[in-house]
Structure 1
Amino acid sequence: MRTDALVRRQKIIMTACELYRSKHHDSLTMENIAEKAGVGIATLYRNFPDRFSLDMACAQFLFEGVIGLEEEAVAAFDNNPREVWISFNKALIDKGLGSLVPALAPRSLDELPPEVSVLREKTKVLTEALIEHGKKHKLVHADIDARTYIVGLITVSRTPLPALAAVTENLSTTLLGIFLAGLEHGGQPV
């Protein structure tokens, strides 16, 4: 692929991700995405023949970014555990994890294309390593597993309704703080 075409493709992906962070996935059309990316609809369809292929390109982009953050956090964790743990989780929220995962996840993980499944599996392994580091440094309770952690993080980092966001400044970081404190103490269903 030519460099200019690759840059254009990346811009479409990044624009779609940004729109998915701020608007409900189903309310956006391919035309909205093309317009916001500054490309013609034919260019968008030349790169992504349908919405699913665009979504999976966005998922791949998200997984690649998360993997980079995870690898950095695993490598640095033991040097300054609490700071690395908090910074890593803030970075995931900044990437829009809570908005993008629900927007991009298919009904079944079996629907993920092979290249995205491989990235998902790598993310899973790295997340498990981070949870183990967190347990070692008493930042994560022994009864917390990687699945509980990721579902919880996605839940607390979802974009709040505008009315709720107006009630509290820095709602996402406040909820993240509560969530991370809860991870330290463990959680049992009530």
Structure 2
Amino acid sequence: MRADALRRREALIAAAREQFLLHGDAVALDAVAARAGVGIATLYRNFPTRRDLADATACAVLEDMQLAASEASATFAERPEATWHAFAERLVKLQLGSVIRALSHDPEASMSPQVAATQQRTEQAVEAVLAQARDAGLLREDLGATEFVLAVAKVSQPATVHAPDAFPGFGARLMAMLVAGMRPDGRPLPTPGDQG
């Protein structure tokens, strides 16, 4: 792929990440194209269907998460607490919520093989970091990779109030509070449906 074509494709994926996060599957594809600074025909040349765009967006976010996890694993032993907090904050900045919103287009449809394979590799990389965090006493034993990633994705969803405008760095601060709450304290996590 030529360099200019690759730049346009990357711009479309970046725009889709933002737009899926804000609007979910309701986003208009021409809005994605406009945000990327290209015409709708360019979008369709790169991604013939909405599903193709959603899958590419999901894979891009998952690959970024995998890279973040691999880099965190490499430095965890040297600076466990700083690495753990930096990893969590980096995941918030990746806006993981866009993966969920991008793939919500058809809950009945099975995940594409490409997305499924990327997700599996990413979960393994994240679980390696979580294992190091557990060994360092920074993460409770009963919190797995899926719950952790879903929690980060929820934090990275756009706020329904204008808190980020009032509090710069609000997402990072919220994630820091969440990470603090994930520390071991001897109490099991409540199961879904528990009232207390």
TM-score, reference length from structure 1: 0.89
Moved more, 130-139 or 101-110: 101-110
- Going from structure 1 to structure 2, the CA distance change for 1:109 and 1:178 (only over 3 Å counts) comes to farther
- Confirm whether residue 115 of structure 1 aligns to residue 114 of structure 2: yes
Write out aligned runs for 1:24-173 (5 A): 24-97=23-96, 99-106=97-104, 107-108=106-107, 111-166=110-165, 168-173=167-172
- Root-mean-square deviation over aligned CA pairs: 2.0
Match for residue 175 of structure 1? 174
Once the two structures are TM-superposed, the CA of residue 163 in structure 1 deviates from its matched residue by: 3.6
- Going from structure 1 to structure 2, the CA distance change for 1:27 and 1:177 (only over 3 Å counts) comes to same
Once the two structures are TM-superposed, the CA of residue 143 in structure 1 deviates from its matched residue by: 2.1
* Cα contact 2:13–2:53 (8 A) shared by 1: yes
What do the CA deviations read for 1:141-190 (whole angstroms, capped 9, x no partner)? 12222222222222233221134445644331222122111110355213
How many residue pairs match? The answer is 188
- Going from structure 1 to structure 2, the CA distance change for 1:52 and 1:126 (only over 3 Å counts) comes to same
Once the two structures are TM-superposed, the CA of residue 133 in structure 1 deviates from its matched residue by: 0.3
- Confirm whether residue 5 of structure 1 aligns to residue 5 of structure 2: yes
Alignment partners' CA distance in 2, 1:137 and 1:82: 8
| Paired residue type of 2:123 | K
Q: Which has the higher helix share?
A: 1
* Cα contact 1:157–1:175 (8 A) shared by 2: no
Instruction: Name the SS of the counterpart of 1:162 in structure 2.
Output: coil
| Paired residue type of 2:189 | Q
- Going from structure 1 to structure 2, the CA distance change for 1:15 and 1:172 (only over 3 Å counts) comes to same
Alignment partners' CA distance in 1, 2:23 and 2:149: 21
Alignment partners' CA distance in 1, 2:90 and 2:37: 27
TM-score, reference length from structure 2: 0.86
Identity of counterpart residues, as a percentage?
A: 29
| Paired residue type of 1:89 | A
Contiguous gaps of at least 5 residues in structure 2: 191-195
- Going from structure 1 to structure 2, the CA distance change for 1:109 and 1:119 (only over 3 Å counts) comes to farther
